[in-house]
Every structure is written in C-alpha cells, then in structure tokens.
Structure 1
C-alpha cells in the first residue's frame, strides 16, 4: 500500500451530517468530491480515495444489550461498498465500540472484511470502560487490543489471499491509547496512526508533533481535518501545508 499510494478520505454516516462530510448530502456527490480532493495530495504518489463509514457508532444510551453502541445496518454498508467500488476507492469501516469489545465489533463485520477493498478504522476515544458513558469522558484502547485486531485481519488476509488491509486508529490525545510501545506489525496489515486533534494550523502541528514523537517501528501516519471545528476562529489547513508535516501523512481524512 505504501509508499505507492496516499489515502485521502471522507468519514461519516448517511443522514447524520454532524458526524462527518460523508453523511452530508448525496453520498455519490461526496465520493466524486473526495476523488478530486485526493488528487491534491498525490505528492508523487497515486491518490487513493477512501470512504470511511461509521459502522459501529457509540451513543449515550445503553441500548437493549447495554453496550452503548449502534451497529450500522448491512444494507447501508453494502450501499457504500458498491459506491466505493464504483469510484475505485477503499471502504474503511469505522468502529466506535462504546462498552462493546473492539475485536467483537470487528468480527461482526467479517463478511465485509473478506473483500479486498475493505479495511478498518478504530476510534479509541469511544472505547468505554465499565461505568463510562460515551460523550461524558474519553475512552481508551490498549496497544494489545489493537494488536488483537491486527492479528485477526492478518488471518483474514492469509485465508482469503487478500492484499494488505489498512488498519487505522484515530488518536485525539496521548491519553486515549495506552501501551503504545506494545504495537507491532502483523503480516498483511498496514497500521496507520491518525492524529485527530482539532484547532488552528499551529495547534494541529503541535498535536502532530506530540503524537508522532517516538512512535514504534512499523507505524504509518495519518492526519485528520475538520471542516467546521478547525475553521472556528481560524482556518482549515491547505494540502501543501499538510504535506509539509514530518513524517509526511500517508492518510488524510476530512470530517
């Protein structure tokens, strides 16, 4: 996957524009839009558009199973998988587990992960412990938990003779990932750490430096931009500014 490609995507859920650009308006138009945006980030690589669909969404209500999360219906995932294929894009299934197990939510998506153009994105800040409620506090994911997901994806890659699968984890602060030094590569899995901080260009650069410092070997980098939150009192960073970050982000995602 790297260094041949640079991934550039939108995230979201249809009918929920507050959760990201992908869910704001017609998904077909958004897919065409991200394809054009991706070309601005090529920087000597092939631009690869990404649709990052929220497949498990944390919510403040326990729900019937007490897990504080809702799973996106299969028909919606199928629609976005077809849209991704139509636009030569990758589909990433984003998981906000609530109080459910991260690996359990990945396993629930296995019928989609057996496809060569579907990967996983994890949101540690929505990984709640006992007694925690989404929206009231940040959750936390351990490096060992991410390794377990990577190992599971590695087995799927091997069993189904698939190309490398991207495994992204979005990190809004150092506190949402414990035991980062335990992270290790898994065969057939490309592990991407995506800096998820909000703010002005200066604040985002500072968050970036903090999150990429002393990363374990084998990790690739991603960078998240927020159309509304970043622009409040400031402005959205431009592609040339993002590409000047070091190390250079290999996945750029807009919310």
Structure 2
C-alpha cells in the first residue's frame, strides 16, 4: 500500500523550460460577446432570465446518486441562465502543446488527439444519456518551474499564441478551453488577472492547481503545495466580475486536489451564481486508492460539483486498471468533469 500511497501523492508533472513571448490580444467586442451567448428566441418570446429550478433540483439530486448524508447535493445559489452544469458532462484532455510528457493534449498530433477525445466523448454519452457530453481542452497556461526565472515566480507563462491555437482547434468541434495555472511563488490573483482577455470569451474557463502553490517557499515539485479558501475566492471574484461585466453565462472553475492539505478551509469557499466550482480528484494509483481519495477529499468536503482525473498510462501501471465510465457513474456524487492526462 505504501507504493500506492506514494503514487497518488506524486503528480506526473514534468518541468519544462519555455520561452515567454506573450503577445497582445485585442479586446473582444461587447456586441460579438452578446451575439455569441444570446438566447435564440422568436420576436414573440422573451429571453430566458432564470433557470427552471425544478429541473435543476432534480438534476442535482440525480448527480448526488442516492446520497443519504444530506451533504449532497450541496446547498448553493442557483446559477445564471446558460450554466453548463448539471446539464452537461465535460470530457477534457489535459496538457501543454510544448511537451509530450505533461499530458495527452500535447502527446499526440492534433488530428489523432482530437479523434481520441471525440471517442471518449462518444463513450461517455453512450453510457449516460441523461446529460450532454461535451469535449474540452485543459491547457497548462502557466507552468510551475524548478528555477525562479527573472521574475522570481518559479513559473513560466506560456505564449498567448498557444491559447489562440487551442481556440482554433476547439471551434470546429464545439469544445471548451480551460486555462490552468500553476502559480509557483506567484499568486492566484496575479496569474488569473493576466489571462482576463481570454477568460472574457464565452467558451474559456479556468483551472487552478494547489499542488504547485508554494506558500512555504519551497521549489515546486519538491513538496505538495496548498491553497486556502481565500486563494480560491480570488479566482471566483475575478471570474464573477468578468461574467457580470461581459454579460456572459457562468464560468467553471476547476480546483485540483488529492491531499487534505492542498485545500484549506473549504467551507469558506464562495458559491455564487456567476461561477460553478468543480473540486477535481487529481492523482494516479490503484482503483481502491483513487476511490478512497475521492471519498476523503471530494465527497467528505463538499463544495459544489466534482471531477475525476484518469491517467492513460499511470492508472494502467503494474496490476492497476483505469476506471471505466460505468464504474465512475456508480460514485456518489457522480463526477461532472472527467479529465484525461
């Protein structure tokens, strides 16, 4: 069991040095944003200004999957109209285009990767037709580093041209794009703020990774980092402001977690109509160990929605077997976000 415990506590993160060549991006026109999210109605009908709360409640109860503790579904404000959850399940490929070792997103050539992603989407849709399954690219936009760099942040911001590339790949398949940040010695507020122009796009969402938030001053990758509710709330505040200012549908915030210390004071994490929070079970290992981690840190510390990471290689190592959709849908609550690395 010790080797299993070690495996779940070790990320498959690979340090890579990249050139930082951010370019400017022109602001998205207010009218184009409105057009892209406008509810399509006939002249006689009024736009939808509120969700169907009865339907929403029923879907949340279904996600709770017969939980009897009263913890699930989580009591939270209803989302703004157009919310993705709980109406959809997101299937995301994780990684960086500069590295074949950081995740499946950059491991395969574009066409092969997209075909593989679409295959996973189809598999999940066939198993659970109660929701719509949609594809996503979960891209490491800020990578933790083993060296401080000129700014002494112990991270590297990827060039914006990579985000532009992923947006161009996402459009033909109606995929979402998640921008993931590993703050190193920086802060959530500083790193999320430099991505605001992209987060103002309707199909772009956010991921934050406490594993590489080194408040202790350690080098990323040497110890597992931590974020408090205050750090997570900083991200929520920025996303909520963008949604209000740009009149967008709710943003999704994915928070990675696989240890107790990675997220502290979870009860103080805000739930607001503009942002939907996914607490995402990260880490690899045996099925027994991964289920235990999900129960300890996701189920027993409820925030809002849940996610689960699957590793094509590391979850199939030795005598381990990667979870199937059928198996994960037996969990309480059912994960709404599935990430492949």
Q: Provide TM-score, normalisation by structure 1.
A: 0.96
Q: 1:211 aligns with which of 297, 311, 319?
A: 297
- Structure 2 gap ranges (5+): 1-83
Matched with 1:16 is: 99
**Which of the numbers 105, 117, 135 marks the counterpart of 2:191?**
105
> Helix, strand or coil for the counterpart of 2:113?
helix
Do the aligned residues in 2 keep the contact of 1:151 with 1:186 (CA within 8 Å)? no
Does the CA contact (< 8 Å) of 1:127 and 1:140 recur in 2? yes
Query: Aligned partners of 2:184 and 2:297: how far apart in 1?
Result: 23
Deviation at 1:18, TM superposition (A): 1.2
Q: Which whole-Å CA distance do the structure 1 matches of 2:186 and 2:202 have between them? A: 26
Partner of 1:123: 209
Shift of 1:15: 2.9
Of 153, 178, 188 in structure 2, the residue corresponding to residue 67 of structure 1 is 153
Deviation at 1:32, TM superposition (A): 2.7
CA distance in 1, matches of 2:172, 2:150: 36
If asked which structure has higher relative contact order (CA below 8 Å, sep 6+), I would say 2
Q: 1:200 to 1:214 in 2, by over 3 A?
A: closer
Q: Which residue of 2 aligns with 1:143?
A: 229
Q: Larger deviation: 33-42 or 79-88?
A: 33-42
| Number of matched pairs | 254
- In the TM superposition, 1:214-233 aligns within 5 A as 214-217=300-303, 219-233=304-318
Tell whether 2:325 aligns with 1:239: yes
Task: Choose between structure 1 and 2: higher strand proportion.
Answer: 1
Q: Aligned pair 1:79/2:165, yes or no?
A: yes
1:184 positional shift: 1.7
Is 1:4 the counterpart of 2:87 in the alignment?
yes
**Which one of 178, 181, 189 corresponds to residue 92 of structure 1?**
178
Q: What is the CA–CA distance in structure 1 between the aligned matches of 2:96 and 2:222, rounded to whole Å?
A: 22
Task: Quote the Cα distance in structure 2 between the aligned partners of 1:28 and 1:133.
Answer: 36
CA contact (8 A) 1:31 1:51 kept: no
Q: Which has the larger radius of gyration?
A: 2
Alignment partners' CA distance in 2, 1:32 and 1:201: 26
Moved more, 28-37 or 3-12: 28-37
**1:133 matched residue in structure 2:** 219
SS at match of 2:316: coil
Off by >6 Å, runs of 4+ in structure 1:
none
TM-score, normalised to structure 2's length?
A: 0.72
Rounded Cα–Cα distance in structure 1 between residues aligned with 2:220 and 2:306: 26
The answer on whether the counterparts of 1:138 and 1:176 sit within 8 Å (CA) in structure 2 is yes
SS of the residue 1:175 aligns to:
coil
Aligned CA RMSD, in angstroms, stands at 1.2
Does the CA contact (< 8 Å) of 2:213 and 2:225 recur in 1?
Answer: yes
> How far is the alpha carbon of 1:109 from its aligned partner?
0.5
Alignment of 1:29 with 2:112, yes or no, is yes
SS in 1 for 2:244: helix
* Range with greater deviation from structure 2 (242-251 or 27-36): 27-36
Deviation at 1:84, TM superposition (A): 1.1
Q: Deviations over 1:181-219 (max 9, x none)?
A: 1112123111000011311111111111111233345x1
CA distance in 2, matches of 1:164, 1:95: 19
